[in-house]
Structure 1
Amino acid sequence: MFKTSGKSLSLQYKTQLDNSESVHNADFTMHRANCNICMEESKQCHCDPINIEGTNVDAEHDTKANCSFTHAVINMVGMLIGLGQLSTPYTLEQGGWASSFLLIGLGVVCAYSSHLLGKCLEKNPKLRSYVDIGGQAFGAKGRFLAATFIYMEIFMVLVAYTISLHDNLITIFLGTHMRLHLAKLSTAQLLSIGAVLIALPSLWLRDLSSISFLSTCGILMSLVIFVSLAYTAIFGGVQFHHRIPVLHLHNIPLIFGINISSYGGHIVFPNLHKSMKDPSKFTKVSIVSFTIVIAFYTAMGFMGSKMFGPNVDSQVTLSMPRKQIVTKIVLWATVLNPMTKYALGFAPFAIQLEHRLPSSMSKRTKMIIRGSVGSFLLLVILTLALSVPYFEHVLCLTGSLLCVALCLIFPCAFYMKICWGQISKPLLLLNLSIITFGLLLGVVGTISTSKLLVKHFQPAQSA
């Protein structure tokens, strides 16, 4: 990902808890002061503002919404570039070069839906988050539905990151043998458990600047991955001789789910809108940012598929030449990247959990509760990742079941509800078409991926 660090990152974090990438990227942090994900019926959110370094977040938001156009573009690009950089070559090879039109088309539609979120925010300046928009459109049910999908997406993306960590650790320590007499675990499982346990203390962090530092490390790891892949393509001695097939129509549901998850940054777009000096330029920011990301993903897809052909892995880093030093660097970067995501991914839930605890509790007790709950959830994520070690299927299921709703269906539905009566018939037809398209491919992708997962598990159970 590409995003500024240092003082500018620290200031940005005061209003957004670090505008991180999304699983959906995401990058993960939804609303920086997302303590306002309230689910009480028919009530506006009245969460206590979170103080960062003695500063009121809401006041900071009003007085220091100083994100320039360029900074906003950098942040949005950073939110969008995540696991998609690993999976795009695989999707292009599986779908054929004609599937690149789906990759590009989804990017265009997601840029349009981000524009709709901006329009909803302009309609009511009091709205601050994705959940607020859902509440404005459909009341308490809209808030609850949006919050539920957001937390589910965060959870599933963390599972996908953990699977990525597991797969790359196996490659790094290929040939290594470890044993634990107390449990029948493989070497790969022991390595993954060890890595997650190393990252576990980060869930006990309450200081937001520390979490911001972890995000900066994650950004650097993403940069290392990109530079290493580019270096391998140019100087690594890998020939671009593989022929990309035209189209594999039967793989489109799988391709759709993975591709839509690559553009999953919408849950933090409202926060970016609120951080801008001139929010009226948000649509231009979306256009420029998605153009950059679409070009990046398309280039990565063609480069990876031409380099490795049918042998390209669902994570392109696993297809790189094993003996080269640059490969070891990119593998370690891919392992370290997920380890920086856990605290960021858990932050919105932790803030909400702490807000709901009785005010009579001491800070120490609250820290123990939130840390214990976070540790338990991380162990659940680890267990699920080791039980379902199919990166592409988990990513596709996340995209088809969750990202399609958060990136396509909900923004269009919220916009039509909030701005009903001011929408022209062509625009209404466009939004309805996007919702129908999203529902159709989402259902087909979810069913198709579920069947593939069942097929993978059946041989294992029969054996």
Structure 2
Amino acid sequence: MWGKLLMKSLGKRLQSLVVKSNCTNCGNNQHKSSDEENCNVCLGESKECKCVHNTNHNNNNNYNYNNSSNIEGGTNMMMETKNDASDEDDEANSSFTHAVINMVGMLIGLGQLSTPYAVEQGGWAYSSTLLIGLGVMCTYTSHILGKCLRSYPTKLRSYADIGGQAFGSKGRLLVSTFIYMEIFMALISYTISLHDNIVTVFLGTTLKLHLEKLSTPQLLTIVAVLIALPTMWIRNLSSISFLSTVGILMSVVIFVSLAAAAVFGGVLTNHSIPVFQMHNVPSISGLFLFSYGGHIVFPNLYKAMKDPSKFTKVSIVSFTIVTALYMIIGFLGAKMFGPNVNSQFTLSMPAKQIITKVALWATVLTPMTKYALEFAPFAIHLEHKLPSTMSGRTKMVIRGCAGSIFLLIILALALSVPYFEHVLSLTGSLVSAAVSLILPCAFYLKIFWGQIAKSHLVLNFFLITLGLFLGVMGTISSSRSLVENFQAHHSN
């Protein structure tokens, strides 16, 4: 596939070069101007140039196709194209299996901790319907993101690029805002999770630092974040990728710990799960939406594949695995802990058991491995904005200081609003609904308008409407719960 793209791109560049050179030799300036414009239009739309001037130029004896400057320019152009293609080939080294692992690792995270709570609060009928339904819908939206990328294979490389292609500079700005909001709010959720679980890990531990306004759990959280702070100075992407791999491993450990607690930990799976709890539907929808939110990274996974034509199959396999894991974790945890299940099931596991300690430590370490990876988009954007004359060391210092300040702001907000399920639900409703459902459908409709079958038009408008409904209802519900809990906490 990449060979075909290379030859097509090379052919178009050489064709454009020849046309411009021929027009330069033409004595008619008006002819030259109009023909160049027409050729540029044809080539810009990726069409074969069939303009009238081709015939005229072929019949004109004044053209010299062996012009040495044309040969030299064509050779340089060819070398540039080959170098660009070589860079892309170096990046596109991900196999099908590797792509599936990356996508599953991207999707499995904090969502798995809250799934048992969501199943218990929403009821098994609603939860199973929404888990499977969202899995299918998000698979489809990842598929149409791949179609958008295939429509402009050399131009679109990221989620923001697709937004810019569909809606211009304002679209790119809006999409970038949603991307940074998701990263920011997800990091707050990770830090809240760190705070909640580190308390249980060091249960009974007291730090006497004579700081009246800070409790021991808050001090422990600050210490953990300060330990993770140096990772914000990492500039090497391979080191950041290593941290990401450790985070994926911790997610696997958490899942295995829950299963081990059911089999070896003496926890009975005898609790009944309600069928349907209507009053909890809006907030629970946000938790499930957050669990499937990973679309901002999918274009990067697509571009990293050796064979991007298999991206849809990767999405199907990945979302099938993730949906199955969520179903197992959600229903197993709800059956194990019943109405007393915590918003993070690790806090409901039997105390003082080795299995529980392992799960808690894995949950504490997971956020500490995520900070550098989540901050990377900010860091890359920041470095691009810095003057090119600035030294690498200075850029590293600016990047590290900005990352450290950013993490400390995240820490302060997380300690001020320690309500994991409400923040997670708000993130899912306010941001993930847009990134995973609404925006991909809007991109697809805008880019392919006029080429879409009526059934697909109806489907995409339905998904946009559903995403808006779940997003608005969930945002209102989770925001209200967040404010109520915050006021109750401070009044006490």
Coarse TM-score class (shorter-chain normalised): 0.7 to 0.9
**AA aligned opposite 1:413:** A
CA 173–98 in structure 1, closer or farther in 2 if over 3 Å, else same: same
Deviation at 1:460, TM superposition (A): 3.0
Matched residue type, 2:119: L
Structure 1 residue identity aligned to 2:123:
G
**3-state SS of paired residue (1:240):** coil
Alpha-carbon distance, 1:61 to partner: 2.7
Q: Which residue of the partner structure matches residue 103 of structure 2?
A: 76
Alpha-carbon distance between aligned partners in 2 of 1:146 and 1:355, rounded to the nearest angstrom:
19
Cα-to-partner distance string for 1:349-406 (whole Å, 9 max, x where unaligned): 1011011011222222211111111111101100111111011101000000000010
Give the structure 1 partner of residue 415 of structure 2: 386
Separation in structure 2 between the aligned mates of residue 455 and residue 182 of structure 1, nearest angstrom? 28
Gaps of 5+ in 2: 1-82
1:289 aligns with 2:314: no
CA contact (8 A) 2:164 2:171 kept: yes
In structure 2, the CA distance between the partners of 1:323 and 1:58, relative to structure 1 (3 Å rule), is: farther
Match of 2:134 among 86, 106, 125: 106
Corresponding residue number in structure 2 for 1:417? 446
Counterpart AA for 2:371: Y
Amino acid aligned to 2:114: S
Task: After TM superposition, give the deviation of residue 70 of structure 1 in Å.
Answer: 2.2
Aligned to 1:322: 351
Distance change >3 Å, CA 336–CA 419, structure 1 → 2: same
Counterpart of 2:112 in structure 1 is 85
The residue number in structure 2 matching 1:229 is: 258
Q: Deviations over 1:20-70 (max 9, x none)?
A: xxxxxxxxxxxxxxxxxxxxxxxxxxxxxxxxxxxx998433345232222
What code does the residue aligned with 2:460 have? N
Higher helix fraction (1 or 2): 2
Distance 1:179 1:80, change over 3 A: same
Q: Secondary structure at the match of 1:243?
A: coil
The structure number with the bigger radius of gyration is 2
Q: Does 1:242 align with 2:271?
A: yes
Deviation at 1:182, TM superposition (A): 4.4
**Contact 2:125 2:275 (C-alpha < 8 Å) held by counterparts:** yes
Partner AA of 1:84 in structure 2 = G
Return 5+ residue gaps in structure 1 as ranges.
1-55
**Counterpart Cα distance in 2 of 1:329 and 1:338:** 15
Counterpart check, 1:206 vs 2:235? yes
- Provide the TM-score with structure 2 as the length reference: 0.81
C-alpha contact 1:163 1:391 (8 A) present in aligned 2: yes
Say if 2:174 is the partner of 1:123. no
Instruction: Give the Cα–Cα distance (whole angstroms) in 1 for the partners of residues 129 and 228 of structure 2.
Output: 39
From 384, 394, 399, the counterpart of 1:355: 384
2:177 maps to 1:148: yes
- Please, which of 89, 92, 112 is the counterpart of residue 62 of structure 1? 89
CA 1:454–1:203: 2 relative to 1, 3 Å? same
The AA in structure 1 aligned to 2:384 is H
Q: Deviations over 1:117-165 (max 9, x none)?
A: 0010111112111111001100101111111111110111011010000
Over 6 Å off, 4+ runs? none
Q: Secondary structure of the residue that 1:90 maps to in structure 2?
A: helix
Tell me, in whole angstroms, the C-alpha distance in 1 between the residues paired with 2:213 and 2:172. Answer: 44
* SS of equivalent residue, structure 2 residue 140: helix
Q: Greater CA deviation, 303-312 or 353-362?
A: 353-362
- Kindly provide the CA deviation profile for residues 82-129 of structure 1, in whole angstroms up to 9, marking residues without a partner as x: 111111111000001012211111111111100010010111112111
Secondary structure class of the residue paired with 1:314 = coil
* Residue of structure 1 aligned with 2:187, choices 158, 162, 176: 158
Secondary structure at the counterpart of residue 340 of structure 1: helix
Q: Does the 8 Å contact 2:255/2:329 carry over to 1?
A: no
In 2: Cα distance, 1:60 partner to 1:236 partner: 51
Offset from partner CA, 1:268-312 (integer Å, 9 cap, x none): 111111122221211111111111111110111110000000011
Q: Hey, what's the Cα distance between the residues in 1 that align with 2:299 and 2:238?
A: 22
**In structure 1, C-alpha distance between the alignment counterparts of 2:211 and 2:315, rounded to whole Å:** 53
Count of residues in correspondence between the two structures: 408
| SS state at 2:331 partner | helix
Q: Kindly provide the amino acid, as one letter, of the partner of residue 158 in structure 1.
A: L
Distance 1:57 1:324, change over 3 A: farther
Alpha-carbon distance between aligned partners in 1 of 2:399 and 2:94, rounded to the nearest angstrom: 32
Residue type of the partner of 1:140?
S
Q: 1:259 aligns with which of 263, 271, 288?
A: 288
User: Which of 424, 435, 444 is 2:473 aligned to?
Assistant: 444
- The residue number in structure 2 matching 1:270 is 299
Q: What is the letter of the counterpart of residue 136 of structure 2?
A: V
The 2-side partners of 1:66 and 1:216 are apart by: 17
Q: Is the 8 A contact 1:179 1:185 kept in 2?
A: no
| CA shift for structure 1 position 459 | 2.2
- Give, in whole Å, the separation in 1 of the partners of 2:346 and 2:211: 33
Which residue number corresponds to residue 48 of structure 2?
A: none
- Whole-Å separation in 2 of the counterparts to 1:168 and 1:78: 21
| TM-score, length basis structure 1 | 0.86
Contact 1:261 1:398 in 2 (8 A): yes
